[in-house]
Structure 1
Amino acid sequence: MQIQFLGTGAGMPSKARNTSAIALKLLDEIGAVWLFDCGEATQHQILHTNLKPRKIEKIFITHLHGDHIFGLPGFLSSRSFLGGDEPLTIFGPKGLEDFVRQALTISGTHLTYELEFREIQEGIIFEDQNFTVKCQKLKHVVPCYGYRIEQKDLPGKLDIDEARKQGVPFGPLLGKLKAGEDVVLDNGQVVKSASLLSESQKGWIVTILGDTKYCQQSIDLSENADVLIHEATFDRGTEKLAAQYGHSTNVEAATVAKQANVKYLLMNHISARFMKKDVELLESDARLVFENSKIVSDFSLFQWRNNQIILEEDLNVD
């Protein structure tokens, strides 16, 4: 799993930060990418990465403010031009489908792939054999949701050497053992999968919050997450102003991370009024509350490896 930030600014694009968009790259797990929010010019940001639009199979929208959805019509159109014909599903609040359909209809845009919309409500909104996605309403000035993505536990590793000693040949039987099935050899011997598999590996949990003021819902949605992505539109000492606009400070984001017992906090949705020196202070103030805090930049790329989130690439914010 990788997380790449395509836009980390608040409200409108600036020279340093584009509007909100996050790519959850699940290429190793399922060969696909999930996009969270799609602010203006997200497709331009993608051009500076190795992301392939056709690989984006799901889009999750937190709320209907323009800095989170104005990039959708352009991205959807370009995905067609680039040869994308795989179906795409968009999850989001009521009204999202009307916005997108009207933009595509009025502009005469024809898509080469099936587009499906799923209007979200609190609870589990998607589940398959690999993942569960839950959402919960946050505290913003319009209906806004946060998403919790849980990877299901992975099967343990198969001791192939021991399996071979027990007479299991290379081929499909090894695959069945790895899948947890017992197998019967040609000589009638039963080989137990449990005797050859290590303990299952716990899946990761990523929580991606939309715009919100400090609230219990953020803590609940983030409980024991490996990675929490939380907005930090305002800075320390401006909590009342932040709440008035339905936003959080860096310190409030760190407080949520601490109270929810997460492993890592990545802060985005940074106001354009903050310069590079201010961003460094935002981060250091947050770390006084929660040590594993980081302010991210556009194109920051994080890799989940050995139960740690590791920064692979970053661009300095000027």
Structure 2
Amino acid sequence: MKLEFLGTGAGVPSKQRNVTGIALKLFDERNAVWLFDCGEGTQQQILNTSIRPGKIEMIFITHLHGDHIFGLPGLLSSRSFQGGDTTLTIVGPKGIKAFVEISLKVSESRLSYPLAFIEIEEGGIVFKDKQFIVECLPLDHKISSYGYRVTEADHQGELLVDKLQALNIPSGPIYGKIKNRQIVSLPDGREINGEEFVGPDQKGRIVTILGDTRAHPNVAKLAKNADVLVHESTFNHAEAQKARAYYHSTSTQAATVAKEQGVGRLLLTHISSRYLGKAVYDMEREARAIFPNTKIVKDFDIIDIPFDKEERQNG
């Protein structure tokens, strides 16, 4: 599981940062990519990565401001020419279906694959299968904006093969039964309890990705114990009043949430173009003073999300 940032800027594209687009790469888990927001130029950014549009399985839209959705019609159209033939599901606030369908209709664009839509009005679980649950809650922005919490199912513990081999238990179908923690009888009369030969389950990872927002109680709910929190940081601490007036957050507000909610790692994005060079590092430093494991991401940064908690905290 990895995050790749396709755009990390706020409002309009700049020479340093494209507008918002985040890929959650789930190649090991389901051979797929989930995209969070799709600002203008996202498909151009994808050309500079290893991501294939045909692998994009779901697109989660946080809100309907242009810097988060204007890249959708182009990406959807191009996917038809780049091997996309499986259903693509778009999740987002009410109105996202009309935006996409009107854009495709007016431009006479025809897709080679089916589109499915899930429109959010109140929040709750928007996706669930054996591997993942995706929940969303409303935030506080000028228009309806949501944050998403992706929770991975726990992974079954590894079979302790060395321990089995030390007891001269040969490999074969019996290993499958032991891995399922069954009690099995061996040909020599020994009885093996599978519970004793399987390591502890690996706790599933939690990734929280927020849309634009100012401080709101739902931010804490979505961030609680997340391994990674992706939080907007449009303004620095000195411009907190401006952040509130424009329904955005500061770096220190994000860091405070991460500290209070037991987050593993904080990734700051949606950076205003007014912050360049030293100003960006200053913003990162003020957040790190509150929550040390903070990083302001750049376009094309790739963040690995390992199972091991110590690796995450030292990442």
**Are 2:45 and 1:45 aligned?**
yes
- What is the SS of the residue equivalent to 1:282? helix
The answer on whether the counterparts of 1:302 and 1:310 sit within 8 Å (CA) in structure 2 is: no
After TM superposition, give the deviation of residue 176 of structure 1 in Å.
4.2
Partner of 1:295: 296
Q: Deviations along 1:276-297, whole A, 9 cap, x unmatched?
A: 1110111011111111111110
**How do 1:22-41 residues align onto structure 2 when only pairs under 5 Å count?**
22-41=22-41
Q: Deviations along 1:139-190, whole A, 9 cap, x unmatched?
A: 11100000011111111110123445464532x4433433445556678876
Q: C-alpha root-mean-square deviation of aligned residues, in Å?
A: 1.9
- 1:127 & 1:244 partners in 2: Cα distance? 36
Partner of 1:113: 113
Cα 1:149–1:181 shift into 2, 3 Å:
farther
The answer on whether the counterparts of 2:40 and 2:67 sit within 8 Å (CA) in structure 1 is: yes
Partner of 1:64: 64
- 1:271 & 1:127 partners in 2: Cα distance? 34
- What is the SS of the residue equivalent to 2:289? helix
- 2:201 & 2:180 partners in 1: Cα distance? 11
Q: Deviations along 1:92-127, whole A, 9 cap, x unmatched?
A: 110000100111111111111121111123111111
- 2:43 & 2:178 partners in 1: Cα distance? 43
Structure 1 spans left out of the alignment, 5+ residues: 313-318
The answer on whether the counterparts of 2:293 and 2:313 sit within 8 Å (CA) in structure 1 is: no
Q: Deviations along 1:223-243, whole A, 9 cap, x unmatched?
A: 111111000001112212111
The answer on whether the counterparts of 1:302 and 1:311 sit within 8 Å (CA) in structure 2 is: no
The answer on whether the counterparts of 1:38 and 1:61 sit within 8 Å (CA) in structure 2 is: yes
The answer on whether the counterparts of 2:84 and 2:112 sit within 8 Å (CA) in structure 1 is: yes
Identity %: 50
Query: Runs in 1 of length 4+ with deviation above 6 angstroms?
Result: 186-189
Cα 1:183–1:278 shift into 2, 3 Å:
same
After TM superposition, give the deviation of residue 191 of structure 1 in Å.
4.1
**Are 2:219 and 1:225 aligned?**
no
After TM superposition, give the deviation of residue 193 of structure 1 in Å.
2.4
Partner of 1:142: 143
How many residues are treated as equivalent by the alignment? 311
Cα 1:246–1:160 shift into 2, 3 Å:
same
- 44-53 vs 303-312, which deviates more? 303-312
Structure 2 spans left out of the alignment, 5+ residues: none
- 2:252 & 2:32 partners in 1: Cα distance? 34
- What is the SS of the residue equivalent to 1:237? helix
- 1:126 & 1:179 partners in 2: Cα distance? 27
Partner of 1:205: 206
- What is the SS of the residue equivalent to 2:38? coil
- What is the SS of the residue equivalent to 1:238? helix
**TM score, norm. by length of structure 2:** 0.93
- 1:260 & 1:223 partners in 2: Cα distance? 5
**How do 1:255-294 residues align onto structure 2 when only pairs under 5 Å count?**
255-294=256-295
After TM superposition, give the deviation of residue 26 of structure 1 in Å.
1.0
